[in-house]
Structure 1
Amino acid sequence: MSDLVANELPETLLAKLQKEHYVLLATVDVETKAPSVHTVSWVFAPNPNQIRFAVGQRSRIVENIEANPDVSITLIGAGSTYAIEGKARVVEKPMANVQIKLAKVEVDVTAVRDVMFYGAKIDQEPTYVKTYDEDAAAKLDNQVMSALKKDGTA
């Protein structure tokens, strides 16, 4: 289908990205120049024109974005599948006030496309569970999401 929805996040997608949410991130690999797909859950949209996410500061994602800022974020929800295109930049490495070394990345949204195939809709969104200590996961999640919600760097 790949219909252009908007040049910014519609309210339904903005609402989804106000809390931790499972998304797929596509970058261009720094060495092979091939598409590279990653999963990300620490994601937050402060407004309709921007998405922030956190990844390990030594992640291949960081290298890829520093070499080529073009990214696509796939969000499954609100009854469909959306490709959110944009330009990314690493804005903080490491992130302040987070117990592990992460990088904060900001994406300026340039297009939102409905990429669901014709004649279908999503009736159940993906879910996941953390497989490590619940208390440690909750503490880390709170630190990371608080840091993502802050404008700028420390």
Structure 2
Amino acid sequence: MANRIETYLIPPLFEALQEDRLVTIATIDKESGNPAIHAISWIRALDEHTLRIAVHSRSSMVENIKQNPAMAIHLLANESAYAISGTGKIITEKAAGVPVQTAIIEICITEIRDVMFYGSKIILEPKHEKTYDEQAAQKLDRQVLEALRKGAEE
């Protein structure tokens, strides 16, 4: 996909967004108007045009999106770096079945750019691990991922 612009997730990116993955997201800070960067791992592609993320309901990202829905996601996958631009919408600020106040945000993809610098490729993607109780982390992940799948259904 080098130097191409897409309006949908190509298969390798769709697949990459079906598993636990560290991404950074930029929103516009509601007070300063400056870019605000957030790191998250609760992200899934619903289809080629739609992503869902989960964040704590008190995250500044929630208020930023209410003020200005423009978002950009930085994704390292498929041996490259991608900027996924889109419009965010708060689906719910209290996801059902999740013990922590969790907001679900849906992103309608408007553009995907391969932003890797010329003549290079990613040879090792970043990994992360949860640093709190492993069983509690796995349980919470399952609950949040189920909420992402359902959205605002309940």
* TM bin (shorter chain): over 0.9
Residue equivalent to 1:118: 118
Residue equivalent to 2:66: 66
Deviations 1:53-90 (A, max 9, x none): 00010110001000000000000111000000000010
The 5-angstrom pairing of residues 89-108 of structure 1 reads 89-108=89-108
Runs of 4+ aligned residues of structure 1 deviating over 6 Å after TM superposition are none
Check if 1:40 corresponds to 2:37.
Answer: no
Size of the aligned set, in residue pairs, is 153
Give the TM-score of the pair, scaled to structure 2.
0.96
Q: Is the 8 A contact 1:85 1:112 kept in 2?
A: yes
Residue equivalent to 1:137: 137
Identity of aligned residues (%): 41
SS of residue matched to 1:3: coil
| Paired residue type of 1:64 | N
**CA shift for structure 1 position 150:** 1.6
Residue equivalent to 2:26: 26
Aligned counterparts of 2:90 and 2:119: Cα–Cα separation in 1:
38
| Paired residue type of 2:104 | K
**CA shift for structure 1 position 152:** 3.7
Q: Is the 8 A contact 1:4 1:111 kept in 2?
A: no
Q: Which runs of 5+ in 2 are unaligned?
A: none
SS of residue matched to 2:81: strand
Aligned counterparts of 2:12 and 2:49: Cα–Cα separation in 1:
14
Q: Is the 8 A contact 2:54 2:105 kept in 1?
A: yes
Aligned counterparts of 2:124 and 2:73: Cα–Cα separation in 1:
19
Give the TM-score of the pair, scaled to structure 1.
0.96
Check if 1:15 corresponds to 2:34.
Answer: no
| Paired residue type of 1:148 | L
Deviations 1:103-130 (A, max 9, x none): 0000000000000001110000010011
Q: Which runs of 5+ in 1 are unaligned?
A: none
Q: Is the 8 A contact 2:92 2:151 kept in 1?
A: no
| Paired residue type of 1:101 | Q
Q: Is the 8 A contact 2:98 2:144 kept in 1?
A: yes
When the two chains are superposed, the root-mean-square deviation of aligned CA atoms in Å is 1.1
Check if 1:54 corresponds to 2:54.
Answer: yes
